[in-house]
Chains A and B, each alone.
Chain A
Amino acid sequence: MSVIELDGLEVRLGGRTVLNGLTGQLRGNAIGLLGPNGAGKSTLINTLLGFHMPTHGAARVFGLDTRRDRARIRQGIGYMPENDSFIGNMSGVRFVRYIAELAGLPAGDALERAHEALFYVGLGEVRYRNISTYSLGMKQLIKLAQALAHGPRLLILDEPTNGLDPMARQRMIQTIQEIRTAGSIRLLISSHLLRDIDETCDEVLILKQGRIAALRNLEEERRSHRNFIELETLGVIDEFCERLRQLGCECASFPGGRVKIVMPDSIEPRDLYVLAAEQAVQIRRIHRRRDSLEDIFLQAMEHVPARGELVRL
């Protein structure tokens, strides 16, 4: 089943069309939501939470309609907003317990899970301090703890690394990766940082001006890019290329000794060196493409599909 299904979703706010005919199915374990400021990322999240009503079309979360099944959707969602959002005069554990009780946990279970969630995100030692005394990084973590405590099926994180120093950011990314690996919870992560999405997500939805600019499976993209290699060589490369083809590689040679190769999974880069040595070819430089997400993002920013166009997965 799709985690999120968008069916010609249109949302108008203040007379302006913020989301314009979004159509697509998001199935990943960790879905990244990318786009420049004003692209409609937060509006999409707010619509999924039922804060905004669709003007046309529909959005579904785990098959539940955001218009009709708001309470049931919210029951299964943990939401970490972008900006500060807490009750400053409450202690960490009391705040998380309060939110867990609002999500439907009985008081005893809520208290137990509040303690555990705070330990899980690394706030165990400061859980009895008032939230107003927390640092910025701690405030981000308390938002994550409250989103996790009631055991949601879908965790929505809006700019989770906002304002964090490099250490705190790394820790947040690590925690998100652990949650994804655990597998019992799906993630929707909104960010304007490509790196955050690249490190945590296996699918990405890119929005531009309220429309879907791209919807891609990052795992597949990474797999294909992992096998793509560019070489700069010295020597006669015709025979070298022929031997590569015999090994199952797709190979193209260019003037100046440049060679582009798409390798099958069975071939390792080490094999290239062995083959080159046999053919008396020097490999002067080897370049593997890594920034698959950046490529997707840049392509998406150049091209915007028409309204309602179903973008390929």
Chain B
Amino acid sequence: MCRQGGNLSVYKHEYRAYEGRVTPLWARIAVLVRYGLTEAWSSRITVGLLTLSMLPVVVFLIIIYLANNPIARALIMRGNSQILAINASFFLRVQVSQCWLALVLTAWIAPRLVSFDLSDNALPILLSHPISRFGYVGGKVIALFTFLSLVTWIPCLLLFAYQGYTSPQPWMGANLQIAGGLLVGSIVWIALLSLLGLALSSWVKWRMVATGIIFAAVFVPAGVGGVASAILRTRWGFLLNLPVMMTQLWQRLLGASEFNRIGLDLPSGAIVAMLVLIGVVCAAMLNARIRAREVVRG
């Protein structure tokens, strides 16, 4: 056994202080990230969902292969160049599918990251060590963000790189906006999901309920916003509709064609402001909940 630091002695039943090396403060956040990722991976459902999230990527990969294969093009397209076109609209479909699968993963993983700590009142112990509330939330956000990256911007950019590699023309240089759009759009989305997922999970004791509430937080306001827009004949109700807002944002970032529905266009500034507002509300929810206070059970 290593004896570099002062150790407790099991057999002599004595206590001795630890005098070994101590890790730097920033490394404590990495500990939270590591344990968070381990907790996420410990569920078979997580592995199943992750596998499911990779299936569309395989399908898109095959499409890119076929689109760049002369024989396949001749057989499938038969003179119609719009079929199997690999462009901004194609990558928009890739991004939309992956980002919504990321929502499913968030709804499953986020409650696992915080609800165990909160339901057993572990925060007084966790935060009595040299880690701040900000560091605690940061560690959990990074863990979730890392996990969601596996199904969003990483496969999206790999598909982009594969298209650039297989395309006979110099395609990649001419379409760098798509790569930037995939990266920025995915990061905005998974950062928002991470905050939203953790904030909602921190307020709900039961994990399955938290999963439901995360879905509800996305889709219920969307329905309400749609009803409000229809009744009041205004487009501003769609600011409550996260799917519509995000799709428009991704379209603009990728340079894909706009929505054609009349009156649905939202200004980019309004979309960004709404996303910032959601982020601030989530941060306030976390600030109110992630505290090292004793919870007396009655």
In this assembly, does A137 line the interface, its C-beta being within 8 Å of a C-beta of chain B?
no
Main secondary structure of the interface of B (DSSP, over half): loop
8 A Cβ contacts from B268-284 to A: none
| A114-139 at interface with B (beta carbon < 8 Å) | 115-117, 119-120, 124, 131-132
Residue from the set B5, B291, B297 with the largest chain A CB neighbour count within 10 Å = B5
- Could you pull out 7 A-B pairs where Cβ atoms are within 8 angstroms? A85-B121, A87-B117, A87-B120, A112-B1, A182-B16, A184-B17, A185-B17
Answer whether residue B261 sits at the interface, using C-beta atoms and an 8 A cutoff.
no
Task: List residues of chain A with CB within 8 A of the CB of B1.
Answer: 112
Q: Does A88 contact B (CB under 8 A)?
A: yes
Q: Give the residues in chain A near B10, CB-CB below 8 Å.
A: 115-116, 119-120, 124
A273 within 8 A of B: no
How far apart sit A102 and B119, CA to CA, in the bound complex (Å)? 20
Q: A81-B125, A88-B120, A102-B131 in contact; A151/B296 too (CB < 8 A)?
A: no
Cα of A49 to Cα of B19 in the assembled complex, Å: 22
A299 / chain B contacts, CB cutoff of 8 Å: none
Interface residues of B toward A: which range? 35 or more
Given A104-B23, A151-B16 in contact, is the A109-B120 Cβ separation under 8 Å? no
Q: How many A-B residue pairs have CB under 8 A?
A: 143
Give the distance in Å from the alpha carbon of A86 to the alpha carbon of B28 in the complex.
Answer: 18
Give B residues with C-beta under 8 Å from A: 1-2, 4-10, 13-23, 25, 27-28, 31-32, 35, 116-117, 119-131, 291-297
Interface size on A, residues (CB 8 A): 53
* Residue A179 CB within 8 A of the other chain: yes
Question: Which residues of A lie under 8 Å from residue B8 when comparing CB positions?
Answer: 113, 116-117, 119-120, 148
Check A99–B126 contact: CB distance below 8 A.
yes
Which positions 88-119 of chain A face chain B at CB distance < 8 Å?
A: 88-90, 98-99, 101-106, 108-109, 112-113, 115-117, 119
Using Cβ atoms and an 8 Å threshold, which residues of chain A touch B296? 83
Closest to B112 in A: A89
Q: How far is the CA of A108 from the CA of B1 in the complex (A)?
A: 10
Q: Is the CB of A109 within 8 A of B116?
A: no
Is A200 on the interface with B (CB-CB < 8 A)?
A: no
Cα–Cα, bound, A185→B19 (Å): 13
Give the nearest-CB partner of A75 in chain B.
Answer: B130
The answer to whether B120 touches A74 (Cβ under 8 A) is no
Is A120 touching B15 in the complex (CB atoms < 8 A)?
yes
A84 at the interface (CB under 8 A from B): yes
Given contacts A84-B121, A86-B122, A86-B125, contact A98 B116 (CB under 8 A): no
Residues of B within 8 A of A101 (CB): 23, 28, 31
Task: Name B18's closest neighbour in chain A (CB-CB).
Answer: A151
